[in-house]
Structure 1
Amino acid sequence: MESHPRLTLGGLLDEPLMDGARIVSDGTDTQAPVTWALPLTEVMNRYDDLSATVVYARPESLSAKTAGMSSLAARGASAIIVDGSLPDAVTRDLIPADLVVVELSFPIGFGALNRLLAERTLTQEVHVMRYATHVHQSLAGLLHRGAGMSMLLREVAALSHSPAVVLDPRGEVVAHHGIDKPLLEAVVVPLRDRLSEHGDVRGAQEASTLGVVTPEGERSCTIAPIRLGKHFEGWVMILHGCDRPGVHDLAQHEVVVSQATAIIGSEILRQRSVEEAEERARGDFVQALIHGSFGSEYKMRARAEYNDIDLDATFAVFATRTSAVRADATEPHADRRLLRLARYAASVLPHRDVRSYVTVLGDVLVVVRTVRADTATEIEAEVRRYAEAMANDLTVRGHSSSAVAFGAAAAGAARIRESYREARVALDIADRMHMSGAIAYRELRSFGVLEQIAESERSRQFTADVIGPVRGTELHAILLAYLEQGGNVNAAARELNMHRNTLLSKLNRLSRACNCDVREPENQFTLWLALRLDLLDRLGTSLAREMSYR
């Protein structure tokens, strides 16, 4: 947005130094902004923009360069000020229609004109700086005393004598003061559309004045983006009355919102740090619940009361990984992004009687959610409905390959540990099998049966005998792909991006390594069983290590 002109051509002509000056051209726009004065001899040798600039010309210089007036008009000069009477050689038909030419009643010299503009500009700048300092001190004092968002916005409204609103990056209202709800909705809805349609407004660094069309007519507002470093956090807006304010009021509003963005941005950071600290404390408690790591029931109930968690409720545990988690888990601030993603997941299918608690364990997002249903069938349906909604929400956010796994519902907090274990086993199996969407532990029945024997010594000896020679080698990946494609050589070759003859050669090597023909159905079942037992054994070892961590 262009700043409001602090000095116009009309204001310049009202100065005592310009007494007796008159406009001698057809162009009479005295509202053009004036910031600089440059001599004609200098600007004619350059081709830069002349916006908010008056060109000083001595009569004899203008007579010699009448052809250059069209160039001055095209470059946006506010006016030509002739230091004396307009020369006879410069007639009205030679002056461009949109160029203002002013002749002075007596010569004043370029130095006096330039000094006048400098003094006026500096005076206005000092006035703006003093007002900005006053606004900043008022808001910073409230922030220092911990007044909160509502008091800060109340002060913004008092300084501007107008309603004030804070919007988040999506255009949703965070706080407001001095405006009733019907008018707020009537203004915010079209404003949100305007902000989403005009990327230049969101990318602006300074305050701007926008017009929005409401059912009650057109309204205008002054709005400025809240930027904290490289991050965009929303807007601060001052809503004008039905009548558009004057130039001075608009300039004041721009100063107020510009100063308010820094202070309100600091308050947003403070609130976020408090929320994140509370979230971490609650997340630590949720981790203790799913790991069953409380020293006594008294400690568990004391912390549950502090975190407002009903330990006797029915809970469901959901676990997921996303493509963003896998890619960004080692990057700075990755934990914040994961926690934010988990918070989004917890907000799916909101209900006033349902509470959701989130935590992040490494690269796994965990949601512990209370269940309203009473019967087993209704509980299962409610849990699956949420898992499907959570998977769909992740897909909308760009994580289409995510699986949301869940175990059996836990009747009471003491059984959350087992429900989490089932969800984690189901999640790791789903990742290995390239499954997505809602995945229930009970649906993986074959794995559930094998899990009971996977960690026995006899099972480990069996897997070592069958697939031990190829474990950790290229042949192991080929065996997995071959069995996943049901023994179809062509499909496995496509999956591995390998020529069919090359795959046949490697299958022969695989048969020799495993000491059995991998193309025989009976041997394929044996290999499939060994791979599943090996997978479950590794999952069980990993989970046991995690669950025993304190």
Structure 2
Amino acid sequence: MEPHPRLTLAGLLDEPLMEGARVVAGTAATDTPVTWALPFTEVMSRYDDLTATVVYSRPESLAAKPSSLGSLLARGAPAVIVDGPLPSTMTADSFPTGLVVVEMGFPIGFGPLNRLLAERALTQEVHVMRYATHVHQSLAGMLHRGAGMPLLLREVSALSHSPAVALDSHCQPVADHAIPADCAEAVLAAVRTTLLERGDAPDNHHTAVVADLTADGVRWTCTASPILLGKYFEGWVAILRRGERPGEHDLAQHAVVAEQATAIIGSEMLRQRSVEEAEERARGDFVQALVHGGFASDLEMRTRAGYHDIDLDATFAVFITRDDSRAPDSDENPRGSSRLLRLARFAASLLPHRDVRSYVTVLGDVLVVVRTVRSTAPSEVDIEVADYAQAMAEELTARGHDVRSPVAYGAVAVGASQIRDSYREARVALGIASRMHLQGAVAYRDLRSYGVLEQIADTDRSRQLVADVLGPIRLGTELHATLLAYLEQGGNVNAAARVLNMHRNTMLSKLDRISRTIGLDIREPENQFTVWLAVRLELLDNLGVSVAREVNFV
């Protein structure tokens, strides 16, 4: 079953009703479509497009307004049908070049002509609907039986007798069938370029576009229909024909097949995406359990690792960064929550190597990449890990990631059991780097003094020192920010004032207030060291509490 051919001007002249008609001007092109008829007196009072609309006129009406025929041609009318012999004053030279004028041998009236065209148009629409139903049922039946994307594309190709391809919303091929292997890459690239040049995603569910393209010097015709599910544009279904552009009948058939395939192909694309997202969530949960040490037993860890094809005996490095600029979810932006996960996937694709695997997860506003290390020599391991951290920092910044957030990493983990310690070091390094306003790649081992202090931060004596020295100056207060800026500038009043954008006298006043509050003259070098120590112990203790809270929450 195929679409019934549309009525053309040549086909109209072959109808019994038109017996005795002759073309007195122009050429009745065989492929000029004809859909409707309107009387001459009506079209002259309006300015509508007349494409595929023949104009019916009585001889006397035409003779009264011969100068108006040029406007009919400009508005796209394929022909004028004169209901009877033309007046003797009108000859072929009286009509504009390009306008087809048909003279009836005897009058037939507007009603019979209009009824003929309406019946033929209705018949054609019924045939199209029947064929569209046949195509839809064929594809829907395959989808119901569990056919995947390749089988669905094979059926589309069989129905259209031509190669077919499905593309995602970025015009990347998802699956194709019957495209010759020797030119498949060039053809798909040409299809992608052609559809991308259309600009924004289409907003019409039932409009197929026809475009001519060239691949490796060979001409192809592409009939593509957009996949629109709800208000979201999901991609294209395209049917290709090699060589000269097909006739109107074949293009109509391709359009029907492509349009009917969009809903079925789109449903399969959504199903595949949901499966992939479910697998990705499960893999992300496994990675979270790795970085938090959340397995009940080694057997559980190895069983789940086998499902996700992760080698637990490999050497790993853990990289993390924070995105403070992440847009919240909203009804207007329902996909906004996936932004950080997309960044994580992008980070995992950096510096690819066949022997390297990357696993990602998102913990709140923290992006985590667990990456295997292929090098074995210690010096080579350090270089490989540092290079990736630097590349991750640079590329995420280039993609709009918060430039203030560094990429931190800890010591490499030999085996999955050490990933937890590596992640903890990376979290501590990220917190310290953020407090110190560091950017780029930051290694835990480069913060040597903090590494020593971390071992005593989680003790009662350390907390007592922080309470005795800092007293009521709490994190987040104005005095705390002033104290931190002063210490970071090495006790330089002028430099600290510039950092805080305040007058020098105001800075001196605040330092005096801090000294009175803590009972120590902050401008004395010995006291500065004591306060410096308390501030860092407080930072490390808060980071330890934050990591522990994260583990318990997850």
Q: Distance in 1 between matches of 2:536 and 2:233?
A: 48
Taking a change above 3 Å as real, the CA distance of residues 221 and 459 of structure 1, as seen in their structure-2 partners, is same
Tell me, yes or no, if structure 1 residue 534 matches structure 2 residue 538: yes
1:135-284 aligned at under 5 Å gives the runs 135-199=135-199, 206-284=207-285
Given that 1:195 and 1:201 are in contact with CA atoms closer than 8 Å, whether structure 2 keeps it comes out as no
- Report Cα offsets for 1:199-242 as digits up to 9, x if no partner: 16767753222222222422222222333333333322222122
In structure 1, the residue matched to 2:6 is: 6
Deviation at 1:459, TM superposition (A): 2.8
In structure 1, the residue matched to 2:100 is: 100
Given that 1:211 and 1:220 are in contact with CA atoms closer than 8 Å, whether structure 2 keeps it comes out as yes
Deviation at 1:53, TM superposition (A): 1.8
Taking a change above 3 Å as real, the CA distance of residues 219 and 201 of structure 1, as seen in their structure-2 partners, is farther
Q: Distance in 1 between matches of 2:501 and 2:4?
A: 64
Question: Mean alpha-carbon deviation: is it higher for 432-441 or for 461-470?
Answer: 461-470
SS in 1 for 2:376: coil
In structure 2, the residue matched to 1:428 is: 431
In structure 2, the residue matched to 1:298 is: 299
Tell me, yes or no, if structure 1 residue 446 matches structure 2 residue 444: no
In structure 1, the residue matched to 2:367 is: 365
Taking a change above 3 Å as real, the CA distance of residues 453 and 78 of structure 1, as seen in their structure-2 partners, is same
Q: Distance in 2 between matches of 1:56 and 1:511?
A: 100
Taking a change above 3 Å as real, the CA distance of residues 31 and 309 of structure 1, as seen in their structure-2 partners, is closer
Q: Distance in 2 between matches of 1:362 and 1:414?
A: 23
In structure 2, the residue matched to 1:399 is: 401
Report the residue type matching 1:475 in the other structure: L
Question: Mean alpha-carbon deviation: is it higher for 299-308 or for 150-159?
Answer: 299-308
Q: Distance in 2 between matches of 1:198 and 1:443?
A: 51
One of 338, 342, 345 as aligned partner of 1:343:
345
Question: Mean alpha-carbon deviation: is it higher for 222-231 or for 126-135?
Answer: 222-231
Q: Distance in 1 between matches of 2:261 and 2:230?
A: 16
Q: Distance in 2 between matches of 1:303 and 1:44?
A: 77
Taking a change above 3 Å as real, the CA distance of residues 474 and 38 of structure 1, as seen in their structure-2 partners, is farther
Taking a change above 3 Å as real, the CA distance of residues 412 and 98 of structure 1, as seen in their structure-2 partners, is same
Question: Mean alpha-carbon deviation: is it higher for 517-526 or for 75-84?
Answer: 517-526
In structure 2, the residue matched to 1:49 is: 49
Taking a change above 3 Å as real, the CA distance of residues 374 and 78 of structure 1, as seen in their structure-2 partners, is same
Q: Distance in 1 between matches of 2:307 and 2:547?
A: 28
TM norm structure 1: 0.90
Q: When the two structures are aligned, how many residues end up with a matched partner?
A: 547
Report the residue type matching 1:124 in the other structure: Q
- Report Cα offsets for 1:154-192 as digits up to 9, x if no partner: 111111111222233344332222223321012122333
Q: Distance in 2 between matches of 1:18 and 1:547?
A: 85
Given that 1:403 and 1:436 are in contact with CA atoms closer than 8 Å, whether structure 2 keeps it comes out as yes
Q: Distance in 2 between matches of 1:503 and 1:480?
A: 12
- Report Cα offsets for 1:102-122 as digits up to 9, x if no partner: 222222222222211211111
- Report Cα offsets for 1:285-331 as digits up to 9, x if no partner: 2211211122222222222222222222211112122355x323687
Q: Distance in 2 between matches of 1:362 and 1:307?
A: 23
1:291-330 aligned at under 5 Å gives the runs 291-322=292-323, 326-328=326-328
Taking a change above 3 Å as real, the CA distance of residues 5 and 141 of structure 1, as seen in their structure-2 partners, is closer
Q: Distance in 2 between matches of 1:519 and 1:42?
A: 96
1:31-46 aligned at under 5 Å gives the runs 31-46=31-46
SS in 1 for 2:317: strand
Q: Distance in 2 between matches of 1:499 and 1:4?
A: 85
Q: Distance in 1 between matches of 2:502 and 2:60?
A: 87
- Report Cα offsets for 1:144-163 as digits up to 9, x if no partner: 11111111111111111112
Taking a change above 3 Å as real, the CA distance of residues 169 and 137 of structure 1, as seen in their structure-2 partners, is same
Report the residue type matching 1:62 in the other structure: L
Report the residue type matching 1:388 in the other structure: Q
Q: Percent identity?
A: 68
Taking a change above 3 Å as real, the CA distance of residues 307 and 31 of structure 1, as seen in their structure-2 partners, is closer
What residue ranges of structure 1 are gaps of 5+ in the alignment? Answer: none
In structure 1, the residue matched to 2:109 is: 109
Report the residue type matching 1:417 in the other structure: R
- Report Cα offsets for 1:83-139 as digits up to 9, x if no partner: 222234545454322322222222222222221121111111111111111111111
Given that 1:425 and 1:441 are in contact with CA atoms closer than 8 Å, whether structure 2 keeps it comes out as yes
Report the residue type matching 1:247 in the other structure: E
Given that 2:5 and 2:124 are in contact with CA atoms closer than 8 Å, whether structure 1 keeps it comes out as no
Taking a change above 3 Å as real, the CA distance of residues 464 and 263 of structure 1, as seen in their structure-2 partners, is same
SS in 2 for 1:360: strand
Question: Mean alpha-carbon deviation: is it higher for 311-320 or for 67-76?
Answer: 67-76
Q: Distance in 2 between matches of 1:130 and 1:121?
A: 14
In structure 1, the residue matched to 2:467 is: 464
Q: Distance in 2 between matches of 1:60 and 1:501?
A: 101
Report the residue type matching 2:416 in the other structure: A
Tell me, yes or no, if structure 1 residue 416 matches structure 2 residue 419: yes
What residue ranges of structure 2 are gaps of 5+ in the alignment? Answer: none
SS in 1 for 2:271: helix
What's the Cα RMSD here? 2.9
One of 332, 353, 357 as aligned partner of 1:355:
357
Deviation at 1:525, TM superposition (A): 4.5
SS in 1 for 2:309: coil
Report the residue type matching 1:10 in the other structure: A
Report the residue type matching 1:461 in the other structure: Q
In structure 2, the residue matched to 1:21 is: 21
Deviation at 1:509, TM superposition (A): 4.9
